[in-house]
Amino acid sequence: MLFCCSILPEYEVTVDEDLPPGSDIVNVTAITQYPPVIYAIVSDPVSDVYFAIESATGRIYLRNRFTNDQQSRLLYNILVTAADSNSIAQTRVRVIVRRNKNAPVFIQARNATIRRYQAIGQPITRVIARDDDRVGTPSATVR
């Protein structure tokens, strides 16, 4: 919560690196006796690329996909303001990006032939892939 108004001093959220644009990151909430509250991200060259905020709701969402090179950041600190007609408050949102360090690898390479009258919904071929990420983690799922 924010106080301008009232707000929590810090939010922290962990997201997967393959999150699609438009996905929710977190909702920042301010409480005030002088509505409405207007939310904004304090401009930062890196945060501006990846994150946006709905000014009326405090919903922070992903603007663009995270880059998946090994040099890209795993932690983003976003400074958010909440303002009412009387005052301004700030909070920090820490976004931790969970990387998939081991991409899946196809074990068999094969070509498939689709018959002219292949029934819809019927399998065409089967492939086998391996993923070296720890079992039970989101990165270990091959889809």
- Give per-residue pLDDT as tens, 86-135: 889 999 999 999 887 777 788 876 788 888 888 888 888 888 888 777 66
What's the pLDDT at 110? 75
Q: How far apart, in whole angstroms, are the C-alpha atoms of residue 88 and residue 61? A: 22
- Phi and psi at residue 89, to the nearest 5°: -125, 160
What's the pLDDT at 114? 84
Mean pLDDT of the chain: 85
What's the pLDDT at 37? 94
What's the pLDDT at 1? 46
Q: Is 101 within 8 Å of 68 (Cβ atoms)?
A: no
pLDDT at 72 over 80: no
pTM: 0.71
pLDDT at 49 over 80: yes
What's the pLDDT at 134? 64
Answer whether the bond into residue 36 is a cis peptide, omega within 30°: yes
Which has more confidence, 58 or 46?
A: 58
What's the pLDDT at 39? 96
- Of 79, 114, 112, which is closest to residue 95 (Cα–Cα)? 79
Q: Is 7 within 8 Å of 79 (Cβ atoms)?
A: no
Q: pLDDT band at 15, cuts 50/70/90?
A: very high
Q: How far apart, in whole angstroms, are the C-alpha atoms of residue 35 and residue 19? A: 33
Which has more confidence, 54 or 110?
A: 54
